[in-house]
Structure 1
Amino acid sequence: MNRLTAFFIATLMALGTSLAHARDLNADEARKLQDAGTILSFEKLNAAALAEHPGATLTDTELDEEYGKYIYQVDLRDTKGIEWDLELDATNGKVLKNHQDT
């Protein structure tokens, strides 16, 4: 096996390992987590995201489980048309990332 092949295999293995720790949750899973009080309601999470950029509109949302934590990902478009990517801790609404989409 040459070095390039070995590097390619190692890269694929590393990607597979990291992808195994993050997954999108479906609506039923999210509803169960909300009902159990494990995560905040989507209304509260959306409000927390919108508070970061008053007047913005939500363009996309997604709930993921990453390394045992629930992360709510939000895409916003502000009043100037600038797109923002936010990540919130779905259990408490704390903003983890807030950066302009490039």
Structure 2
Amino acid sequence: MKKLIALSCAALLSMGSAAVFADDDVSSAEAARLIEEGKIKSLESLEEKALSVKPGRITDRDLEHEYGRYIYKLDVRADDGTDWDIDIDAATGEVLKTEQDD
């Protein structure tokens, strides 16, 4: 079951051009490995967490390794049309930042 979730999350990360990877971004293969090893939560559960904070539609997502931890960065278009940046600690699920995008 864990393997299926990890593969699903890896596929989700690699779909389309939603994720633009920079030097500190985590590859979809590494994300799947981290999920399987239990080092980070499933990306699906982290997206559910973000949408519980700001209901809407996820328009962009990146998993990054910053300051010694994994951070899942999401852009959300809220139901009212506003755009939000939401950062979540990928290991704990803690919401680190919720900020309206300019």
Name the TM-score, length of structure 1 as normaliser. Answer: 0.76
CA distance in 2 between counterparts of 1:46 and 1:79 reads: 16
Report the counterpart of residue 92 of structure 2 in structure 1. Answer: 92
Report the counterpart of residue 61 of structure 2 in structure 1. Answer: 61
SS at match of 1:23: coil
Please list, as runs of the form range in 1=range in 2, the aligned pairs for 1:26-37 lying within 5 A after superposition. Answer: 26-37=27-38
Offset, 1:45: 0.2
Gaps in structure 1 of 5+ consecutive residues: 1-21
CA distance in 1 between counterparts of 2:61 and 2:33 reads: 17
Identical aligned residues as a percent: 43
CA distance in 1 between counterparts of 2:54 and 2:87 reads: 13
Offset, 1:95: 0.3
Report the counterpart of residue 26 of structure 2 in structure 1. Answer: 25
Structure having the higher Rg: 1
Number of residues paired by the alignment?
80
Gaps in structure 2 of 5+ consecutive residues: 1-22
Offset, 1:79: 1.0
SS at match of 2:24: strand
Superposed CA RMSD in Å reads 1.0
